[in-house]
Structure 1
Amino acid sequence: MCLGIPARVVESGEHFARCASRNGELRVDLSLVGIQSPGAWLLVFLGAAREVIADERAAAINAALDALDAAQSGATDFSAFFADLDREPQLPEFLRSQTS
């Protein structure tokens, strides 16, 4: 299984960036996203940036990865990791008209 890991750019060159992530410092290939400014968040798979992401998305992904770590440690309450899901589910717009 390949998981995308958020990494924050510390220093960027033309082809590679030095980034900080939950797994420590990484050398990240920028071929797919181009040169990035320090502070930018990247979604990294196998050492290559696939997407530039917003701070909020990086935080949500890191929370989900924390939940995986907690599950591996035997935790059973995951509500703290998914605060964005603390709401009533909504049907997509195209299905709402079919249920009325």
Structure 2
Amino acid sequence: MCIGIPMQVIAVHEYVAMCEQAAGSLPETVDTMLVGSVSVGDWLLVYKGAAREHLTPDRAQQITQALQALDAVRHGHDFEGFFTDLIEREPPLPAHLRSTSS
């Protein structure tokens, strides 16, 4: 399984960008050919060194929290705090799974 990592652009070159996962992390070179133009400050979803889509800052934060939750579970720690948007709320079913009968 390949997991996309949210990364923020810190420098832009012709077809690559220097990106970091979090402030202060080591920068990585990311191929941006699949997403088109990027600007410093943009968030990208990166798979194996290639950006696959632009992200909003909120979506980047959600994905980062989900990845942190996976790491917490892996180490036997509590993970509920990473999903505050789901606490005391039942996640809605996607439209194609909802009942059409009344």
TM over 0.5: yes
Say whether 1:42 aligns with 2:47.
no
Q: Deviations over 1:34-65 (max 9, x none)?
A: 22110000000000000000001100000011
1:19-30 correspondence runs (5 A): 19-22=19-22, 24-30=26-32
TM-score calculated relative to the size of structure 2: 0.85
Gap change, CA 1:45 and 1:91, over 3 Å in 2: closer
Instruction: State the secondary structure of the residue aligned to 1:51.
Output: strand
Q: Once the 2 structures are TM-superposed, how far is the Cα of residue 97 of structure 1 from its aligned partner?
A: 4.0
Q: Distance in 1 between matches of 2:100 and 2:36?
A: 43
If each structure's helix is expressed as a fraction of its own residues, which one has the higher value?
1
RMSD: 1.7
* Count of residues paired in the alignment: 98
Instruction: State the secondary structure of the residue aligned to 2:85.
Output: helix
Instruction: State the identity %.
Output: 48
**Structure 2: gaps (5+ residues):** none
Partner of residue 62 from structure 2, selected from 45, 60, 64: 60
For 1:79, the equivalent position in structure 2 comes to 80
Gap change, CA 1:21 and 1:96, over 3 Å in 2: same
Instruction: State the secondary structure of the residue aligned to 2:69.
Output: helix
Gap change, CA 1:72 and 1:27, over 3 Å in 2: same
Q: Match for 1:56: what amino acid?
A: D
Q: Once the 2 structures are TM-superposed, how far is the Cα of residue 30 of structure 1 from its aligned partner?
A: 0.6
Q: Distance in 2 between matches of 1:24 and 1:70?
A: 22
In the TM superposition, structure 1's runs of 4+ consecutive aligned residues that sit over 3 Å from their partners are 89-94
Instruction: State the secondary structure of the residue aligned to 2:38.
Output: coil
**Structure 1: gaps (5+ residues):** none
TM-score calculated relative to the size of structure 1: 0.86
